[in-house]
Each structure stands twice: as structure tokens, then as C-alpha cells.
């Protein structure tokens, strides 16, 4: 078995830091925590993280300053947690070495998906995702069900990829539109149309994997093997 990816969570809000750390540990990651960046170099040496989750607004050095320090002292990726969503602020963060952003308040499913995507790009976790007899290869942009190659549109593939990377968790329509379309101003029926088309193609080769959670959203899981 591969060694779990290591993540350092730096946030001075105890409740947020604890919730994020607990969620990431439940996903199988090894997690270390820090309430500020004053001892960042020592924290990096001790935790040897593959990825650092940095709050932008920290006591002492800000997250944007610390992002530069991470890259000057380690090869860890950086994902910023911030309430700042203005374009110039995001561009500044990327200029300082941030690999991605998650904007507060965020859903844990989105956070996990973004962390997973960054780690996958870094080659730290396997690219191929398997759920039951579904095999999704993001690098090759292919999806197979029971060994059969699915003929998916680009949007259907992005939708399936987000659901697969969030496998076992329920995601809302809002989370889907943000991750698949890049913004949340998408009519609800547009999501339903693409989900229906995706389901038809998948269920032509096996039982249902994309389940509706009434009043909440959708979950991709193999119910036959769920504990």
C-alpha cells in the first residue's frame, strides 16, 4: 500500500482547523496542525508535508507571505483557505506560489476534492479512481464501466470526475456547478439533464452508481459493497 499523503493545516481558528484535520484524516491522509506560521520552517521539517493548507489571515506572518516560505524551503504544494475572492488577490496568491484556492465558507467535499486534485497533479496519489466496476482515468480522460469504454461528452466527464473524486460523500448541485462549470449561476435543470445522460450511459453496463440524496444532492458509490 502507498504511504498516505501528508498535509499540514495552518489556521488560527481552532474549530475550522480541527474540522478540516478530522475530515482529511477520515479520507486517509496523514495530518499535522499549526495555529500560526511563526514556526513554519520547523513544522515543515517535522511534518514533511506533501501539501500545506494555509489560511490567508493569520496572526504574525500572513498566509500569502508563508506561501512563499513554503516554496523556498520545501517542495510541498500550497492550497490557500481564504475569504478573499477578488481577482487581484487570487493572482497575487498564485504569484506567491499557491497551487489552488478554497474560499471560505467552504464545503468539506470541495476542500477534499481540491486537495486531492492538487496532490494528483503532483503525482502524490494515484490518478486512476475506481468505484465498483467503474474505472476513471483523469490523465487519459477515459472512463470504463465493466471494461467498456464510456462515450462521454467533455461536460459529462468533468461531472463524473468530480463525483468520483468525492465518492462516498453527498455533494450539492451548487458544489457540482462550481466544480464542473466553474461558476454557480447554472440552472438546476441543466445539472439534472447532464446527470440523466451520464446515468443512462453508465447504467447501460451495470447497476446505478450515481444516487440521488433527496433534498441534498448526489452521491457516487457502489451500494453493493458499502459497509
pLDDT in tens, 82-97: 887 666 766 776 777 7
Whether the full predicted model's pTM is greater than 0.85, yes or no, is no
pLDDT band at 28 (very low <50, low <70, confident <90, very high): confident
Interval 149-177: pLDDT, tens: 999 999 999 999 999 988 888 999 888 98
pLDDT at 116 exceeding the cut of 80: yes
pLDDT given at position 86: 67
Secondary structure, 3-state, 195-221: HHHHHHHHHCCCCCCEEEECCCEEEEC
Torsion angle in degrees (nearest 10) through CA of 203, 209, 214, 215: -110
Say which residues have a Cβ less than 8 Å from residue 118's Cβ, sequence separation at least 6: 51, 77, 79, 99, 100
Amino acid at each position: 500500500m502507498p504511504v498516505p499523503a501528508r498535509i499540514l493545516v495552518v489556521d488560527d481558528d481552532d474549530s475550522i482547523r480541527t474540522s478540516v484535520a478530522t475530515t482529511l484524516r477520515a479520507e486517509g491522509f496523514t495530518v499535522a496542525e499549526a495555529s500560526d506560521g511563526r514556526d513554519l520552517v520547523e513544522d515543515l521539517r517535522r511534518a514533511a508535508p506533501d501539501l500545506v493548507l494555509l489560511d490567508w489571515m493569520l496572526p504574525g506572518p500572513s498566509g500569502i507571505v508563508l506561501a512563499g516560505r513554503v516554496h523556498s524551503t520545501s517542495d510541498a504544494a500550497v492550497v490557500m483557505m481564504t475569504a478573499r475572492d477578488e481577482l487581484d488577490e487570487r493572482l497575487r496568491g498564485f504569484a506567491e506560489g499557491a497551487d489552488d484556492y478554497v474560499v471560505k465558507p467552504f464545503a468539506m467535499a470541495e476542500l477534499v476534492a481540491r486537495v486531492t486534485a492538487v496532490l494528483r497533479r503532483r503525482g502524490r496519489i494515484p490518478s486512476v479512481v475506481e468505484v465498483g466496476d467503474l474505472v476513471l482515468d483523469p490523465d487519459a480522460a477515459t472512463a470504463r464501466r465493466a471494461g467498456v469504454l464510456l462515450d462521454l461528452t467533455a461536460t459529462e466527464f468533468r461531472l463524473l470526475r468530480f463525483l468520483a473524486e468525492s465518492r462516498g460523500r453527498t455533494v450539492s448541485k451548487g458544489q457540482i456547478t462550481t466544480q464542473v462549470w466553474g461558476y454557480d449561476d447554472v440552472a438546476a435543470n441543466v445539472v439534472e439533464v447532464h446527470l440523466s445522460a451520464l446515468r443512462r450511459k453508465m447504467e447501460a453496463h451495470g447497476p446505478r452508481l450515481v444516487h440521488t440524496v433527496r433534498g441534498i444532492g448526489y452521491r457516487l458509490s457502489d451500494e453493493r459493497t458499502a459497509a
